[in-house]
């Protein structure tokens, strides 16, 4: 087998310069190296579309980072407040509540991610009917799923609690907490559909705004405010921060999306 020899680029470059001054012939490797340098003389061109695509990718990653970071911060806020008012049982119930919440969030996000490329493609192709049709189909599917799951949680909260614990006291406590914490879960279909559609239409900033509104502007302050408003049961008041924040956030998201969606479709028709 022929031995592979590494080339010292700096030494080779010096040899080429010496040969140029002395008018000496070049070796094969020197010729290859010289040709490679010559091929790099022309400055590369930058495609503006590639830059825009990269900017969109960065914004999408920023959104995902904000979502993940906010979940960690909210978890700390909930647990510290619940430990103060309800003790270990309330904190243990919160773990179950967030797990049950994933039954709603993950399938809804999956539906949204499946619809995103279809909306994006048709938005780029200026096909307004397909964009509208895809969004409203996503909205119907998401609302149907969230309403069905909400109904099951309201009717059988003990069944969902029993999936994650066999402790009778914790199951009884979680049964009540689930109905409070997930009181407006039927509206999640609107929130997730609009948030995913924002990304599809290139409105990543709007998607970040609605995410920040729900979690940082509304939910975190309400975790600490609600126990001072509903003093009779301060532990349940902490859980109540979630549905109150969700109701306001979904209303805000729906209004913002309706305005942005009409503008985006109008821009397509005018172009």
Q: What single string gives the DSSP state of each residue in 129-147?
A: HHHHHHHHHHHHHHHHHHH
Closest by Cα among 75, 56, 149 to 106:
149
Please give the span between the terminal C-alpha atoms of the chain, in angstroms, as a whole number.
Answer: 63
SS3 string, 2-41, reads CCCCCCCHHHHHHHHHHHHHHCCCCCHHHHHHHHHHHHCC
- Measured CA to CA, the distance from residue 55 to residue 73 in angstroms comes to 27
- Measured CA to CA, the distance from residue 91 to residue 224 in angstroms comes to 15
* pLDDT given for residue 4 in this prediction: 44
- Measured CA to CA, the distance from residue 181 to residue 183 in angstroms comes to 6
- The predicted model scores a pTM of 0.75
CB 126 within 8 A of CB 265: no
Residues 99-154: pLDDT tens digits? 999 988 999 999 999 999 999 999 999 999 999 999 999 999 999 999 999 999 99
Residues 201-233: pLDDT tens digits? 988 888 888 988 988 999 999 999 999 999 999
Whether the predicted pLDDT of 46 surpasses 60 = no
CB 74 within 8 A of CB 215: yes
Please count the residues of the chain: 271
Tokens read off for 160: 């969902």
Predicted confidence band of residue 64 (pLDDT cuts 50, 70, 90)? low
Whether the predicted pLDDT of 180 surpasses 80 = yes
Residues 139-170: pLDDT tens digits? 999 999 999 999 999 999 999 999 999 999 99
Query: Considering the chain, what is the average pLDDT of its residues?
Result: 83
* pLDDT given for residue 202 in this prediction: 86
Whether the predicted pLDDT of 54 surpasses 60 = no
What average pLDDT does range 55-61 have in this prediction? 54
């Amino acid at each position: 087998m022929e031995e592979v020899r590494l080339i010292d680029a700096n030494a080779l470059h010096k040899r080429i310069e010496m040969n140029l001054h002395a008018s000496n012939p070049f070796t094969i490797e020197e010729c290859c190296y010289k040709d490679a340098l010559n091929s790099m003389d022309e400055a590369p061109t930058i495609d503006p579309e590639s830059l825009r695509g990269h900017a969109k990718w960065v914004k999408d990653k920023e959104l995902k980072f904000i979502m993940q970071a906010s979940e960690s911060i909210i978890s700390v806020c909930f647990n510290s407040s619940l430990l103060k008012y309800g003790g270990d049982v309330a904190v243990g119930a919160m773990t179950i509540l967030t797990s049950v919440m994933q039954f709603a969030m993950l399938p809804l996000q999956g539906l949204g991610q499946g619809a995103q490329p279809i909306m994006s493609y048709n938005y780029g192709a200026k096909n307004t009917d397909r964009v509208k049709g895809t969004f409203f189909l996503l909205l119907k599917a998401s609302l149907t799923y969230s309403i069905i799951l909400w109904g099951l949680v309201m009717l059988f909260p003990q069944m969902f609690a029993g999936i994650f614990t066999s402790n009778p006291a914790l199951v009884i406590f979680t049964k009540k907490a689930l109905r409070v914490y997930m009181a407006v879960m039927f509206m999640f279909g609107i929130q997730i559909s609009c948030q995913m559609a924002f990304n599809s239409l290139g409105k990543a900033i709007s998607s970040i705004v609605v995410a920040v509104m729900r979690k940082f502007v509304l939910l975190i302050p309400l975790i600490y405010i609600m126990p001072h408003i509903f003093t009779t049961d301060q532990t349940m008041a902490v859980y109540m921060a979630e549905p109150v924040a969700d109701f306001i956030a979904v209303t805000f998201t729906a209004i913002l999306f309706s305005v942005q969606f009409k503008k985006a479709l109008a821009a397509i028709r005018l172009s």
